[in-house]
Chains A and B, each alone.
Chain A
C-alpha cells in the first residue's frame, strides 16, 4: 500500500508523459540523436510486506495500530510504571502471547510470499544480448531486452511478440492465471518485422503502464537501412502478459515493454480491502460501553477514596503508616496514579482473550464450511472454499442478495435449441425423421409446414460456421481420453465422433464465449462442420461432405457496446462476404425492415421463453466496398490515439445495409435447484436483486423460472422502452414514472412494521421492479440541475419495497454501483453478491459478503470472493444453515464474554468499599490471569464451534427461522442489556452472599477464622462454577466435546486450586493462597454458601427458560410440518414443469 502510494507520489513526473519509448535490444536508432537510456523499474516482483530488518518494528507497529492491542499495551505500561495492585505479568503475558502468535503467523505468510517472489524473480530466462543467448535471472530483465520463451513457460514480463516459431506468425497463450479464462488465445507478431532479430532496429512507443488487461495501444517504428521508418500498430493482440503461459508454440521472441511492478499483472494485483463484519461493529460498541463502565468505576473509586480519606483518622491510621515517598508525592499526582491503579485493577473487564477467542472461533469455525460434504461437487471435484474467516457470521445476516444471471442462476451451458430462417422456425429433432435432421415445427400460421428455400438454409448455416472466433483444439494437445481423436480430428469427423461419446462435450472447440460453441455445434447438427483454421483459411465441411475453404479477411470483434461481431471472408469463387451476428437490437436497425418483421416475432418469443437469441445477417461486399473497408480498418488499427473510437466508426460503417437471414435460440439452463434456492432466500426475508448484462426479456423469463417473479407479482418497469415517449423528454418521463411507481409501491403499500416481525404471508401485493443500465445511469448520474438525489432516493425506496429487483443490461461497474447504493442506504443493510465471472468481481468486492461460484467463466470471481461454492444451490445451506449457526454462535460468544467478565470484576469493584479503596484485589493474581485463559475459555470456545441451537436440517427446511436473527437481533442493545443485568445481578450476589457469610469469619468447626484470600477464593469458586453452568444451560447441543470441556474445566479449576495452594512456590514473593482452597473445602459453611449462590444466580435463568417454554417446542415442531406441506404442493410445479411451460402466460398469449 505504502509502496504504491510512494510510487504514485514519485511517479507523477513520469506520468506526465503519455507514452514511453523503448529501444528494442537497447540499440540506438538512426533517427534519434543519442540514446538516452530511459529509466524503467527493474523486473522484480515484490508482493511481500516485510524484510528481515523491518519485520519487527513494522509488524509491531501494525499490530499496535489495532485499538485493542494498543489498549492492552497501555495497561501493561501503566502496570510497569505505576505501583499497581497486580503485577505487569498478568496483562503482559497474555498480550505477549497474542502479539507473538500473530507475528509468527504474519511472518510465516510473508515468508511464503518471499518464497513465491523469489521463485518468480530468480527464474532463469533466456535473453538475447548482442547476438548471444544469455541465461539471466528473471528479475534482471530490463525494458527493451529481447526475451525468449519456450512452450509452457510463463512470460517473465509484458512482452511485445516479435517472432514466433509457428509459421503463421502467431502464438497461443492461456491466461488462466490472470483472468481465469482457460481457452487458448491467439496473439500475433508485429507484422513485417525482420526475421533477424540481431539486426532489427526499432523503437516501440507505447502508453504508460495501466492495469486494464485488455487494452494496449502502441506503435512500433522499424528502421531499415536509409528507408523511411515503417510504422506498425500494436494492440493487445501483440502483447504477451506476464503471468500468461505459452501454449502450442515451440518458442517465441519478444521485447520487454513493461517490467516488474509495472506489468499489467502487478498493477492488477490488489490486496483486497479488508471487510469487517457487523458483529465486529457491535463488539466495538459494547467495548465502548464497557470502557465507560471501567472508567466510571475507576473514577468512583478514586473519588470515594479521597472522600473517605478526608475523614479524620482514615488517611493514615497508625497501623498503616505511609512511606516517606508517599508523603512527598503531590496530591494530584497521587490521585492520578490511584486512578490508573483502579483502571489496571478493573481492566480485566475487557479481556485480551476475547479477541483471541473470537479470532480462533472464526478461524476454526470456517473449516466447517470447507469440510461440508454437501458443498462437494463431484463434477469439478471440489468443495467450498473459504477465503476469509472474518465474515462467517455475516452469512447469517444477509438482507440483500445480488445475483448474477448467466452462470449463477443459469448454468452457462449453452445448447442450441432452435433457429429461424427467413421467418420459418426450425427445431432440431433428435429422431431425425428427415434426412438432414431439419424439421419445421412452427412458423407463421399461414405458411405452416413450409420451409425456407434450401439456398437460404445453407447460407444461414454457413454463416453460423464462419461468423465466430472459435478454435478447434489442436491434436497435439490431446493426450488423453479418446485415443483415436487425433486422427478423427484431422479427418474432420471429430464432431461426429465427439457427439457419439459425449453429446455435450466441449472438448473439440475452444471459445471465449460458450454461445459461439453452441452455435457452431448447432450448425454441425444440421450438417455443416467447422473444421478449423488453416493459415487464414476457414474450412467448413458442408452437407455433401465437401470441404469448402474461405479466406478470413477481417474479424470485427465483439464488444459489449456494439453487441455484435462480424467476419469478412472471401469465398473460393472470389466473392467477398460479410457475416454478422448479434443481439436483435443491434442488428435490426442495420437490415432491411421487411425482413425484420418476419423474424422479430420469433426472436421475441424465444426471448420470453428464456433463450438467448442472436440474429444473423450477411452482406455481399463489392470489391470497391471491400477495399474501402479494408483500408479503413487498417488505418484505424494503426491509430495510436482513439483507436477504439476509430475502429468503432469503421465497424459501424461496414455493418450496414445487411440482409437478415435468420435468428438462433440458445438455451442456458437454470442451475440445479435455482428456483428452490431463490424461494428459500426470499422466505428467509432476503431481497433478491438480479443484476445481469443480459437483455431484459431473457432476464425476465429467467426470473419467472426462478420464481423470483410470481404470477401475482406486479411488475414495475423502468427501461428505455417505457421511457420512449415522443412528446416529452426522457427525463420528464422518468420523473413521472418514478413518482407513479413510488406512489404504488411505497405510499400505498401498508406500512411495514419495523424490525423482524414482518408478516410475510399477508396478502400484500408483491412488486417486482425492472430497470436497465441506460435508465439506471440516467437515474444515478442525471444532470446536477435536475433533482438527481431525489431520483436516487425515490428509486431506492421503490426498490426496497419490491420483493425482487431485476437490473438488466448492466455494466460490471454499474453492478457495483447498485450494491454500493443499497449498502449505504438507510439502516445499512448487509448485502451479499454472488457471481461467477470476471464481470461480477466488482460487485463481489463491493458487497459485505462476496460469494464466487466455481463456474465456467474462470476463477476470477472465486479468487476475489470471500467464500466460493461450486453451485448456486449451495447458497441455501451456506446462508440458512451455516450462516445462521455462525451468527448465533458468535453473538452468544460475544455476549457471554462480556457477561462473564462483568460478574468477574464486579465483586472486585465492590470489595474496594471494604478495603479502604486501596486497590486490594479480591482474587489472587493467578486467578485473575487464569480466569479468562484457562478456567472459562475452553467451554465457550467449544460451544461457539459446536452449538446447534436448532439443528441444521430444521434450519434448512424452515427458511423463516432466518428472520429470527435478522438485523443483528442477538447483538442489539436489548439482549446486551439483559446479559449485562444478568452479570450485575450475579456479581452482586456473589459478593454480598459471601459478605454476609463473613460477618462471622469463624467458618470452620475448629473455631478458626478465614482471611481475605479465603473470601476471594469462595467468590471465585462460585463465579467459575456459575459462569460455566450458565454456559451449560445455554448449550442445546451436547456432544462429547462439550461434556469434556465443561466438566473438564471445572475439574481443572479444582485441580489447579489444590495444586496452586498445595505448594510453597519459591518464585512467589507472597504465598497468599497457601492451603486456602483446601481449608475452604474443609468448611461446611463454605460448601453451603457456594451451592446456594450458584443455584440462586442461575435461578432466574431457569425460570425464564421454563416460562418461555410453552411456546418454544410448539413453534419449533409445528413450523417444519407446515412448511413441508407447502413445499409439497409447490415443488412438483416448480421442478417438473419444463422451463418452456413456465413462461409468463400473458406474454405467450400475445404471441399466438
Chain B
C-alpha cells in the first residue's frame, strides 16, 4: 500500500516532465556562418545577375496619351464633354520588338485600392446568381439602383468605372495602314473566367438581364461586351475581369491585349506604327494620366530592375559581411572547438 502511495505522488520521471527532452542546440558559430554567408552571397549574386540580364532584355515602350500637352494629338479629346472622340498616337520602331508582345494600358493617380470602391460589387451577382440581379447588395450603392429603382447589373462603382478606351494598332507599311491583330484572350486569370465569374445559365444571355439596367457609365450592356464570342461575353468578358481585379497601387497597368497572331507572332517588326485610340475614359478630373505600354516578358514577368539590383546588393552585402566577420574573427581568435 505504501508503494502505491509513492507511485501516486511521485512525479513522472519522463524526459518531458523533467524538461530533459533530447534537444538540438544549434550554435551559430563563425565556422558555419562565414561559409554560409559566402555561399548565400554567391547564390544571390548569381540570381541577381540572371534577373538583371533578363530584365535588361525586356523591351518596353511606354506612351502617355492623356493629351495634356497641346502638341499631343489626344489634346483635342481631353475635354470630357467630347464624346466618341478618337485620336492617334504615332511611333516608330527601329528594331524588331520581340514577341510575344503584351499591350497594357496604364492609369496613374487612380485609386482602385480604395476600400469603398473595392467593396462596391456583388460577387454573387457576378457568379450568375439571378436573385442578385433583382436585388444587388447595398455595398453597390450608389450604383445599386438607377433613378427608376431598376437594379443595375453589374452593380457597383468598380464595374461602373470599367476602362472603356479602345485601341487599334496599325503598322504603316508603305503608307498604308495594316491592322496588327490583337488577341483579347488569356489576359485575365484562368480561374476568373472559368470558375469565379459566371454568366447566368440563360440563353440567350440578354434575357437574363431583363428588368435590369446597364451601369450608367457603360455605353453598352454587359451582354454586349463581346457579341462575337459567347465565352468572352457578359461577366466572363476578359476586359471586364481584368478591370475587376483591383490594382494594388494608384499607378498601375493592366493587360489589354496580346499580339500573338499572324505576321506579328514573333514580334513587332521595325517600322512606323499608328495607334488609334477611342478616347472615352476621363482621368483629368482627378489629375490622372493614361498611357499605353508595349512590353515583352521573360521568365520573371515584366521588366523590373528592382529585383535584380536588390539581389545583387544583398548578395554582395553577404560576401562583404563574411569578409568583415573573417577579419573580426581573425583578430579575436577563433573559438578553439566546434
Contacts and interface: CB of A to CB of B under 8 A. Distances in A.
A322 B306 CA distance: 37
Interface string A982-1018: 0000000000010111111111111111111111100
A996 B317 CA distance: 20
Interface string A1068-1106: 111100110001000111001100100110010011011
Contacts of A1041: 21
A1016 to B, nearest CB: 8
Interface in B5-48: 5-6, 9-13, 17-19, 21-30, 33, 40, 44, 47
A1113 interface: yes
Given A381-B9, A1008-B255, A1000 B25 contact: no
A1004 B301 contact: yes
B186 interface: yes
Given A919-B115, A1064-B196, A948 B297 contact: no
Contacts of A918: 111, 113-117
Interface in A302-324: 312-314, 317-324
B25 A1036 contact: yes
A485 interface: no
Given A914-B250, A1079-B189, A1113-B335, A319 B160 contact: yes
B115 A1002 contact: no
Interface in B222-261: 242, 245-255, 258
A1088 B157 contact: no
Given A318-B285, A946-B21, A914 B248 contact: yes
A996 B247 CA distance: 14
Interface in B291-338: 295, 297-304, 306-307, 310-311, 314, 317-318, 321, 325, 328-329, 332-333, 335, 338
Given A1001-B247, A1014-B248, A319 B117 contact: yes
B102 A1102 contact: no
A372 interface: yes
A370 interface: yes
Interface string A1111-1128: 001100000000000000
A1106 B335 contact: no
Contacts, number: 266
A1070 B51 CA distance: 36
Interface in B244-285: 245-255, 258, 282, 285
B123 A1070 contact: yes
B137 interface: yes
A951 to B, nearest CB: 8
B191 interface: yes
A92 interface: no
A1047 interface: no
Contacts of A1040: 21-22
A666 B22 CA distance: 49
Nearest to B138: A323
A116 B182 CA distance: 84
B195 interface: yes
A373 B11 contact: yes
B26 A1038 contact: yes
Nearest to A320: B117
B179 interface: no
B253 A915 contact: no
Nearest to A316: B286
Contact of B12 (A371, A998, A1110): A371
B13 A320 contact: no
A919 B250 CA distance: 15
A1009 B245 contact: yes
B297 A1037 contact: no
B154 interface: no
Contacts of A1013: 246
B113 to A, nearest CB: 4
Contact of B10 (A376, A1000, A1107): A376
B311 to A, nearest CB: 6
A918 B242 CA distance: 22
Contacts of B160: 319
Interface residues of B, number: 98
Interface string A505-544: 0000000000000000000000000000000000000000
A502 interface: no
B8 to A, nearest CB: 9
B205 interface: no
Interface in A909-933: 911, 914-916, 918-921
Contacts of B175: none
B302 A1007 contact: yes
A1002 B302 contact: yes
A1071 B196 CA distance: 8
A372 B11 contact: yes
Contacts of B191: 1074-1075, 1079
B187 interface: yes
Contacts of B120: 320
A371 B11 CA distance: 5
Given A916-B111, A1003-B301, A1106-B33, A371 B246 contact: no
Interface centre among A325, A1041, A1092 (most CB of B within 10 A): A1092
B141 interface: yes
A1109 interface: yes
B119 interface: yes
Given A1069-B137, A1105-B28, A1012 B11 contact: no
B157 A1009 contact: no
B118 interface: yes
A1107 B248 CA distance: 40
B113 A916 contact: yes
B219 to A, nearest CB: 15
Contacts of B187: 1007-1008
Contacts of A372: 11, 17-19
Nearest to B329: A1110
Interface of A: 85, 312-314, 317-325, 367-368, 370-373, 375-376, 378, 381-383, 911, 914-916, 918-921, 946, 948, 952, 993, 995-1016, 1033, 1036-1042, 1064, 1068-1071, 1074-1075, 1079, 1083-1085, 1088-1089, 1092, 1095-1096, 1099, 1102-1103, 1105-1107, 1109-1110, 1113-1114
Given A324-B142, A1012-B118, A1084-B299, 7 more contacts: A372-B19, A381-B5, A383-B9, A918-B114, A948-B23, A1003-B302, A1099-B321
Q: Which 10 A-B pairs have the closest CB atoms?
A: A1002-B302, A319-B161, A1015-B248, A313-B286, A915-B113, A371-B17, A1007-B102, A1012-B248, A1039-B21, A920-B115
12 contacts: A319-B117, A322-B116, A946-B19, A997-B304, A998-B248, A1001-B249, A1003-B300, A1007-B302, A1033-B28, A1068-B123, A1070-B121, A1106-B33
